[in-house]
Structure 1
């Protein structure tokens, strides 16, 4: 089911629209009749003030009539086209930073009703490399953003901080994104720098990764061992290997050593998909000084250089 704000928007749209419709069909004709009778009796055109006194529109109906178009437009835009999200953590660094405000393309993976989130129309499916928003499988009231690494039928290995993918297709051929079928394909990456980002005094490695031909940057913490003991264990596979079930996706954060993702809690069901993250429309910095007089939620600056399309 959708979040409380989505439900509130739908109810507000339906409520204001229903009030406006009842007023338009039932009460507006009666007001016109009273105005026509008064007009005939006076023999001169009535002023707006007199009309308001003779046939006033109820304040609730007037408010509903004024807000309905705006609320309906917002509901349609947010439910079926684009929904804004704020990045709350660093699990997608360096692609997305805490304080980034993004737009998620809701129709990328199908059109859903805004309340029960049931599929109304199929439009497309996620591709490897897509940054996507979904309902956290263990608590669908929480929205997560990660990157699609595994598609239905893929086998994924994450070993020595490297990704290997064996796609689901006929052996000896290539899948739609260029991976060789029947074998594990290592996702190549190239060092960008080390030290641009720091964590507890440790310089993080920034690298450009090729994920099925799509390029994006990742962060690796060289001081952090692989926590394979915490990995989600799937029957019949190695500790660091996963076979993606049909109708599910394998998601990982770009900040590989600081992300709770499919390696830990499993797969993302298709029905949990929200949309594809496509654009950063605002990016704020916040004070991390505990002695600052400003509350932690008050922005201290704007990162204009971050605005634009998400890779």
Structure 2
């Protein structure tokens, strides 16, 4: 009888049923309670499923419309951004660009699933639309954008992602002399992170490459020649690292910047123009929205690119003397100036290709660049984790505080339940 009172209310009906069934009513009670428990479990499962669905929808909305994670795969932005930096990119700073390919696989892929199998359907495409920006693109901003010359993907927001520094704004005049950038005839402001190639010669003893990699965090080291106890190297360095190496090794004969000669032509340079190369480039005018450009034999090679972006028939333009530019364009360069595929080689970035502004490094892993999937060689760069892109503010302590608080809450919650 006590068992009946435990599971059911103390009513005359339950007592009579128990007595009339000679106690067999207890089996019914047991069966009934199991059904009730199953119902509770089903309700709990439905609540869990709703929670999971909500989390997926929330993640998708955040990823698509607010902030998107990226990882730095190459050294073109060293030493500002390192290979293995995981960054968050704001999509609203420069104005949210609405998705153009509505039918796609979200989260895990950008443009390809495996090999050349695309992760989206290109038949359906929304027109370009961007909301008003929180701030306009400023000179020297670091920007994530879609690579304009990606011929494998025609839809803009499915082109490969690049990250560079915007050194030229619409209407600017860009030129490079002896590896030094000039914008509107003014020399660029120097910054510590900028890298370029250096030649180093040592005598009798080669450079201690292991020391340079492990202790000084220098990765791009190439031994060019070795003869008669003389060793020649090309290394990507900033000025601070170059000075440290010079003072550290007594056997260094010289260390100097590797600047290409003025008349040396790089065939891969933008539009394969004249005698330009990475260190002697321009002058080149950056097109600006609304400006009226006079077309001639000197600039038609530049505006052929613009005609392509703005979907203008090139043959119709041959008879015209002027052209009104429809969009703004930007000139991008990597901070690792001699190891960067940027606007010097493939031209301008149209404004509709801009994705967003990097704001945060949430994780940084130093991995073996030849075998990045070997997790046993991973090393966390604690001095870069939870830092803003300019390294002025660190939130690592807040991260640990939040994690500790969540752990205490979780343990306390389990203990109560």
With the length of structure 2 as denominator, give the TM-score of the two structures: 0.49
Task: Tell me the residue number matched to 1:50.
Answer: 36
- 2:238 pairs with one of 197, 203, 206: 206
- 2:135 pairs with one of 101, 124, 128: 124
Contact 1:285 1:302 in 2 (8 A): yes
- Change over 3 Å in CA distance of 1:65–1:204 after alignment to 2: closer
Task: Tell me the residue number matched to 2:95.
Answer: 110
- The unaligned stretches of length 5 or more in structure 1 are 1-41, 167-183, 209-220
- The unaligned stretches of length 5 or more in structure 2 are 1-13, 15-28, 102-127, 151-157, 199-211, 223-232, 241-255, 289-327, 391-417
Deviations 1:176-223 (A, max 9, x none): xxxxxxxx1111437789885353133434149xxxxxxxxxxxx823
Contact 1:99 1:285 in 2 (8 A): yes
Task: Tell me the residue number matched to 1:268.
Answer: 349
Residue correspondences, number: 235
Task: Tell me the residue number matched to 1:231.
Answer: 269
2:159 is the counterpart of 1:141 = yes
In structure 1, distance between residues paired with 2:78 and 2:146: 20
- Change over 3 Å in CA distance of 1:281–1:191 after alignment to 2: closer
- Change over 3 Å in CA distance of 1:289–1:150 after alignment to 2: closer
- Change over 3 Å in CA distance of 1:222–1:67 after alignment to 2: same
Aligned residues: CA RMSD: 3.8
With the length of structure 1 as denominator, give the TM-score of the two structures: 0.64
- 1:244 pairs with one of 279, 286, 299: 286
Contact 1:102 1:281 in 2 (8 A): yes
Contact 2:266 2:272 in 1 (8 A): no
- Change over 3 Å in CA distance of 1:234–1:191 after alignment to 2: same
In structure 2, distance between residues paired with 1:142 and 1:48: 56
- Change over 3 Å in CA distance of 1:121–1:67 after alignment to 2: farther
Contact 2:93 2:133 in 1 (8 A): no
Which structure shows the higher strand fraction? 1
- Change over 3 Å in CA distance of 1:127–1:207 after alignment to 2: farther
Secondary structure of 2:131's aligned partner = strand
Task: Tell me the residue number matched to 1:164.
Answer: 182
- Change over 3 Å in CA distance of 1:248–1:65 after alignment to 2: same
In structure 2, distance between residues paired with 1:256 and 1:204: 9
